[in-house]
Amino acid sequence: MAMGPAATSPDGYVAALAGWQRALVEHLRQGVLAAAPVEERIKWTHLVYFANGPVLLIRAEAKRVLFGFWRGKRLQQIAPQLKPGGKYEMATWELHEGDSIAPDTIAALVTEAVRLNTELGNPAERSA
């Protein structure tokens, strides 16, 4: 069940949030967009960033914000907080009220995730 706001644009998604979730999503979004050339879209009712396929997502839910990476299992040396789960090599950092991620950590994660997609191809396309 979709927990995020029903929005048709990334700006609309952020505008529909409130309180700590809005502040955290704005912080993550700013860090992501500053770190690498990615395309920001609403997909699956939340923010998804693309560079040669999906790179990462930011999803606000009732009591948490998820910062997830399609190749997150390969990023755990940067952020051990990334917990594997779901399809592909997905791993997600679960954030709650009062949590934050340093801008340099966001930049390192995004830069490496984009590099992996450039090197390895679209993570959503199954390869042999």
Mean pLDDT confidence for 96-111: 97
Q: Which two tokens stand for residue 115?
A: 């590099």
DSSP string computed for 91-124: EEEEE-TT----HHHHHHHHHHHHHHHHHH--TT
Assign 86 a pLDDT band (cuts: 50, 70, 90). confident
Cβ–Cβ under 8 Å, residues 42 and 9: yes
Tokens 């979730």 identify what position? 21
Assign 126 a pLDDT band (cuts: 50, 70, 90). low
Task: Identify the bridge partners of residue 95 per DSSP, sorted by sequence position.
Answer: 65
2-44 tens-digit pLDDT: 455 568 899 999 999 999 999 999 999 999 999 999 999 999 9
The whole-angstrom separation of Cα 29 and Cα 83 is 20
49-77 tens-digit pLDDT: 999 999 999 999 989 999 999 999 999 99
**Which domains are assigned to the chain?**
10-119 (3.90.1150.200)
DSSP 8-state assignment for residue 62: S
